[in-house]
């Protein structure tokens, strides 16, 4: 469970948002929507402990590991790692054979969950956009997160591939009760996949019913 009480953030004199009040429950599939610059990324950075709040209270269970899937970035064709090697980058180095065995099991399991097993040896640079994004997702799942943050992860993928990625995330949400926070500018995906929506408006946040989310909510000035 994550709870914000009067959460406020300023950068110097610039007020980004003030008095955010919300609660995110375990297993929620939630979208964070609002125009450019309204504070969505700043909020998740605060959630992940990468940015400091200015005032207010934020309660995040300490043991609640948060996984983060970044915005889609293309990767050079000659990137030297295979999909599996890339996913493994998030493992802690160990000399213990026992730990290595456990790590290998874990990797196998995660590649299966993200449907990457068949192509695990393919160089990441040669993978399709959707496959690359799944590799980021697999990396984020490595530390067994209870919360997964997707930061516009589907931007610049084509529609079908976006849906495939979101189907996979939905499956993880339903099977493992993974909490999903989806920062997005995508109206269709918000409607199709998310169960709750938090809308940044006038420097604060309000919960709107997903059925009431409209396209202009992604465009209006902050
Ligand atoms: N480290 C920083 N120092 C100063 N200002 C910052 C910093 N990070 C973000 N900002 C400002 O805070 C505001 C909110 O930015 P943020 O990236 O959170 O918005 P966003 O809603 O995620 O936008 P977008 O939809 O465009 O990704 C912007 O005006 C931005 O310029």
What mean pLDDT is reported for the chain? Answer: 90
Mean pLDDT throughout 180-193? Answer: 94
**CA distances for 10 relative to 16, 17, 204, 208, angstroms:** 5, 7, 12, 24
Range with the poorest average pLDDT among 87-91, 156-160, 172-176: 156-160
> What separation in Å is there between the alpha carbon of 172 and the centre of ligand 1?
29
pLDDT at 165 over 60: yes
**Atom 31 of ligand 1: nearest residue by CA position:** 37
pLDDT band, very low/low/confident/very high, at 129 (cuts 50, 70, 90): confident
Mean pLDDT throughout 90-114? Answer: 88
Q: What is the pLDDT of residues 53-81, one digit of tens each?
A: 999 999 988 677 899 988 767 777 778 89
Q: What is the pLDDT of residue 171?
A: 94
pLDDT at 222 over 50: no
CB-ligand 1 contact for 44 (6 Å cutoff): no
Percent of the chain with pLDDT over 90: 66
Which of 11, 17, 150 maximizes ligand 1 atoms within 8 Å of its Cβ, making it the mutation to test the pocket?
11
Mean pLDDT throughout 79-100? Answer: 87
Q: What is the ipTM of this complex?
A: 0.97
> What separation in Å is there between the alpha carbon of 181 and the centre of ligand 1?
18
Residue 61: partners with Cβ closer than 8 Å, 6 or more residues away: 1, 2, 146
For the entire predicted model, the pTM comes to 0.91
Which ligand 1 atom minimizes the distance to the CA of 42?
Answer: 18
Domain ranges, ordered by start, for the chain:
1-64+146-222, 75-142
Answer yes or no: are the C-beta atoms of 44 and 124 closer than 8 Å. no
> What separation in Å is there between the alpha carbon of 183 and the centre of ligand 1?
13
CB-ligand 1 contact for 41 (6 Å cutoff): yes
Which of 10, 41, 43, 219 maximizes ligand 1 atoms within 8 Å of its Cβ, making it the mutation to test the pocket?
41
Of 183 and 161, more confident:
183
pLDDT at 221 over 70: no
Q: What is the pLDDT of residues 19-50, one digit of tens each?
A: 999 999 999 999 999 988 999 999 999 999 99
What is the DSSP code (8-state) at residue 92? P
CB-ligand 1 contact for 39 (6 Å cutoff): yes
pLDDT band, very low/low/confident/very high, at 220 (cuts 50, 70, 90): low
SS3 annotation, 168-202 = HHHHHHHHHCCEEEEECCCHHHHHHHCCEEEEEEC
E strands present in 50-178: 55-60, 66-69, 147-151
**Atom 7 of ligand 1: nearest residue by CA position:** 11
CATH topology of domain 1-64+146-222: Rossmann fold (3.40.50)
């Amino acid at each position: 469970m994550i709870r914000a009480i009067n959460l406020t953030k300023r950068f110097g004199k610039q007020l980004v948002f003030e008095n955010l009040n919300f609660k995110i429950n375990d297993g929620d599939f939630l979208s964070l929507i609002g125009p450019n610059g309204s504070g969505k990324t700043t909020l998740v950075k605060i959630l992940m402990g990468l940015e400091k709040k200015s005032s207010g209270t934020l309660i995040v269970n300490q043991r609640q590991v948060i996984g983060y899937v970044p915005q889609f970035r293309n990767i050079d064709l000659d990137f030297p790692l295979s999909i599996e090697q890339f996913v493994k980058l998030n493992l802690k180095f160990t000399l213990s054979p026992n730990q290595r065995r456990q790590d290998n099991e874990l990797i196998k399991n995660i590649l299966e969950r993200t449907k990457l097993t068949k192509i695990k040896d393919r160089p990441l640079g040669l993978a399709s956009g959707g496959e690359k994004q799944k590799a980021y997702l697999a990396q984020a799942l490595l530390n067994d997160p209870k919360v997964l943050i997707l930061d516009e992860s589907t931007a610049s993928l084509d529609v079908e591939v976006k849906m495939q990625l979101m189907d996979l995330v939905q499956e993880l949400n339903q099977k493992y009760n993974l909490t999903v926070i989806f920062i997005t500018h995508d109206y269709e995906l918000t409607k199709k996949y998310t169960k709750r929506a938090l809308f940044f408006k006038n420097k604060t946040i309000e919960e709107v019913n997903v059925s009431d989310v409209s396209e202009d909510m992604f465009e209006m000035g902050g």
